[in-house]
Amino acid sequence: MSSPKSATRRTTLQALGAGAAGLAMPAIARAQDRPVRVGYAIARTGPWAAGAQVTQEPNFLLWADQQNAAGGLDVQGKRRKVELIGLDDRSEIETCIRSFEKLMGSDKVDLILPPWGSNANFALAPLANRHGYPMLAPTALSRKLIDMHLPYFFSFLQQPDRMMQALVDMLVAHDTKTIAILYMDDLFGLENFAALNAALKKTSIQVVERKGYPLGVKDLAPTLRTIKDQNPDAFIGITYPPDTILASKQSKEIGFNPKIFYASVGTAFPVYRSVIGAGIEGVSGMGSWNPKTSAGAKAYFDAHKAKFGKEPDRWASGHSWAAMEVLTQAVANAGLDRKALRDYIAKNEHPTIIGKVRFDGSENVATPGSVGQWQNGEFEVVWPQSMATSKLQTPKPGWA
């Protein structure tokens, strides 16, 4: 039999325990009621901003609006409002890393969204992996990054070997004999250039010119004149958005109009159509979807246009929205535990507007390499034939 003293001590401990539980329950409830804090740093200024403000940040804003309009993000059956914490990385690697270090370290946001471009993703991915934050990247083209085998990093874009092999397959299928290559001298340009050269080795296509250029180039006319003199069947520009526009405008000015004119990134941007005008007809580049692709793609396209008064691009914008779809599905099923999120993303096949997405390590292996082309005001998918919305138009019409 217990003594009165031990009984009193047991009752006191039970009361203390009940009190602690009573205090803990409101704290848990408050945590479940607070917004889901989603942090990111992305280029709003500097040379990366042209791409980032077309392909990524608008999709972050649209996603948050849609989730909040539905009552909040579904976190395992409970709706919680989304709070975006967005910073300008100023197109600087150091600023990008410092911003994410704060978001993941001291701010301890619930989720992160990725920066724009291969360089920033390459720099950030190891840090996100170290902090244990799933990073769903829609604008990273880097086989080197995939080969780092970072378990928390997931890349949605088709990688350089897939994209360049699709391009070369298309060139071969359309009896291309000679090409000239212009490429950006950075991670994106160099990896795609290497992948293009590797794919070309299996063909009889002759490369008449290979020329790199630095970030921030202001004049490509001398190089384009040299290429024009070689009279290649196809021009391949592995270029960033401002340079894609520059190369196109200067090609028009000097009368360089090969049978196939391919340039990317930026060809699939609506602003490219606005700046180049009727001359866009027949221009090719990296692209993988458009409003014809699926009912989901059309719904996304219409929602984007309604919110921002402008269209999304027909390549990475779709992958960016697909990443938000996968994140939404993962949170609904796995909650906000980041390890559980990572495992759900890694182990499942995900329906998205670009089709089913499935990862082998960090790579989306379900989306094939592809090529798009401007035709009658739409950026059609023209290769491979299995996902094409139109046939390649060749030879390219003259610059209007």
Q: What is the pLDDT of residues 51-70, one digit of tens each?
A: 999 999 999 999 999 999 99
Q: Verify that 348 and 297 share a domain, yes or no.
A: yes
Task: With respect to residue 318, please indicate whether it lies within any of the assigned structural domains.
Answer: yes
Note whether residue 151 is domain-resident.
yes
Do 181 and 321 share a structural domain? no
Phi, psi of 113 (to 5 degrees): -115, 150
Domain co-membership, 52 together with 116: yes
Are 271 and 189 within one domain?
yes
Model confidence at 221: pLDDT above 60 = yes
Q: Give Cβ neighbours of residue 56 (< 8 Å, ≥ 6 apart).
A: 42, 113, 114, 116, 138, 139, 316, 320
- Residue type, position 226, single letter: T
Position 86 in a domain = yes
Bridge partners of 111, per DSSP, are: 38
Reported as a single tens digit per residue, the pLDDT across 99-112 is 999 999 999 999 99
Q: Could you write out the three-class secondary structure of 31-67? A: HHHCCEEEEEEECCCCCCHHHHHHHCHHHHHHHHHHH
pLDDT mean over 88-95: 98
76 C-beta neighbours (distance < 10 Å), count: 12
In total, how many domains does the chain have? 2
Task: Note the pTM of the prediction, 2 decimals.
Answer: 0.86
Helices and strands (DSSP H and E) totals, the chain:
14, 18
Question: Rounded to 5 degrees, what angle do the CA atoms 193, 40, 128 make?
Answer: 70
- CATH number, domain at 99? 3.40.50.2300
Residues 176 and 230 in one domain: yes
Q: Do 346 and 352 touch, CB atoms closer than 8 A? A: no
Phi, psi (deg, nearest 5) at residue 136: -100, 100
* Residue 399 counted as domain residue: no
Q: Which helix (H) or strand (E) holds 24?
A: helix 4-33
Q: With cut-offs at 50, 70 and 90, classify the pLDDT of residue 19.
A: low
- Examine the domain organization and report whether 319 and 339 are in the same domain: yes
Q: Give the closest residue to 329 by CA, choosing from 310, 309, 347, 311.
A: 347
Whether the pLDDT of residue 15 is over 70: the answer is: no
Residue 211 phi/psi, 5° resolution? -145, 125
Rounded CA Rg of the chain: 25
Residues 170 and 379: their CA atoms lie apart, in Å, by 16
Q: Measured between alpha carbons, how far is 170 from 22 in angstroms, rounded to an integer?
A: 67
Structure tokens at 146: 């995939």
26 belongs to a structural domain: no
Q: What is the pLDDT of residue 17?
A: 47
Q: Please indicate, yes or no, whether residues 267 and 151 belong to a single structural domain of this protein.
A: no
Range of the domain at 266: 160-292+370-383
Tokens of 213: 């250029």
User: Beta strand 283-285 with 350-352: parallel, antiparallel or unpaired?
Assistant: unpaired
* Sign of the CA dihedral with 62 first, then 67, 68, and 70 last: positive
User: Residue 329 is inside which H or E element, if any?
Assistant: helix 316-334
* Cβ atoms of 177 and 206 closer than 8 Å: yes
The rounded percent of the chain whose pLDDT value lies above 70 is: 92
Q: Are residue 316 and residue 297 in the same domain, yes or no?
A: yes
Q: Do 164 and 286 share a domain, yes or no?
A: yes
- The per-residue pLDDT for 127 is 98
Question: 194 and 130, same structural domain?
Answer: no
Q: Which residue in 54, 129, 119 sits closest to 89, CA to CA? A: 119
Cα gap 212→378, rounded to integer Å: 30
- Residue pair 361/279 in contact by the 8 Å Cβ criterion: no
Residues 194, 286, single domain; the answer is yes
For residue range 278-296, what is the model confidence (pLDDT) as tens digits? Answer: 999 999 999 999 999 999 9
| Separation of CA 315 from chain center | 8
Do 88 and 116 meet the contact criterion of CB atoms below 8 Å apart? no
Q: Does 1 reside within a domain?
A: no
354 and 296 Cβ atoms separated by less than 8 Å:
no
Cβ partners under 8 Å of residue 5, min gap 6: none
Give percent above pLDDT 90 in the chain.
Answer: 89
Rounded average pLDDT over 107-133: 97
SS3 label, residue 337: coil
398 lies in a domain? no
Please report the pLDDT score of residue 5 as a whole number.
45
Give whole-number Cα distances, 387 to 21, 109, 192, in Å.
Answer: 57, 38, 22
pLDDT for 10: 41
In a domain, 391, yes or no: no
Same domain flag for 283 and 140: no
Please state the rounded mean pLDDT for residues 315-344.
98
